[in-house]
Homo-oligomer: A and B are copies of this chain.
Amino acid sequence: MIVVKVGGGTSLNIDAVVADLVALRASGTDLLLVHGGAQTTNAVAEALGHPPQFVTSETGHVSRRTDRRTLEIFEMVYCGQLNKMWVEKLQTAGVNAVGLSGLDGRIFEGTRKDTLRIKVDGRRLVLRDDWTGTVEKVNTHLLRLLMKEGYFPVLTPPGASTVGEAINVDGDRAAAMVAGAFGAEALLILTDTPGLLRAFPDESTLITEIPRAHADQFMQYAEGRMKKKVLGAVEAIAGGVRKVIFADGRIEQPLSRALAGGGTHIQ
């Protein structure tokens, strides 16, 4: 089993990812796709007059402020526009894809963190009515049920809280949990860089190999959105995934080339 995580970056070569998924699947590889949509969500939120807000926690983490209206826009983009785009592309390529959010059947389940402690200009504030959380449990039963019958699950945030509310969960860390829950052979994270870079954005500084025992030391090289991806990788490795690969999602045959050694391999 290989879990593929595709970001929402607009420079990704989506048709190349689809063609490669179809080819790998035809060769008998068990696959699961998890996709994001942060960039598109920002654009739609702007267009709908509810621009994205990002907050910095007391511990220095940057995250999206997810009030109820943001959650609704998030669902429109992740579960509507993008999930159905992936499903349609796979269906027209002959794969019987089934698009699901982590809320459906509680595929991604975790505790809701309804209060955010943040820092603004050095002052501490508490934000309530937030709809975020972290995936703690994956409904592998539902995913296995579908895969066994030949369906190809295409997964996306949000997740479900322990009482069934929709929560904004990080897609990379959700994909890491899925890979861990299945004891996957590999978690393949496609981004708009060639992999993890020692000196971002200089692509000639690609780190090709990271020994699994030292994965967390490489957090220092992660910039911006890449931080959560490396955190996801560290969690996946800790959860029993054999290999995590950060690879370039802008090129042709992005999956095959990553599995053949491209990008950053953590193992």
Contact = CB atoms under 8 A, between A and B. Distances in A.
Contacts of A104: 87, 97-100
A120 interface: no
A76 B80 contact: yes
Please report whether the interface of chain A is mostly helix, strand, loop or mixed according to DSSP: helix
A145 B141 contact: no
Interface residues of A, number: 44
Nearest to A91: B164
Contacts of A164: 88, 90-94
Nearest to A49: B47
Interface string A161-172: 001111000000
A84 interface: yes
Interface string A96-120: 1111110111100000000000000
Interface string A63-79: 00000000010011111
Number of copies: 2
Nearest to A79: B80
Contacts of A94: 164
A106 B166 CA distance: 25
A60 to B, nearest CB: 31
A81 B78 CA distance: 10
A142 interface: yes
Contact of A84 (B106, B142, B158): B158
A75 B77 CA distance: 9
Given A84-B103, A100-B100, 8 more contacts: A75-B81, A75-B84, A79-B80, A79-B84, A87-B101, A90-B164, A97-B104, A145-B146
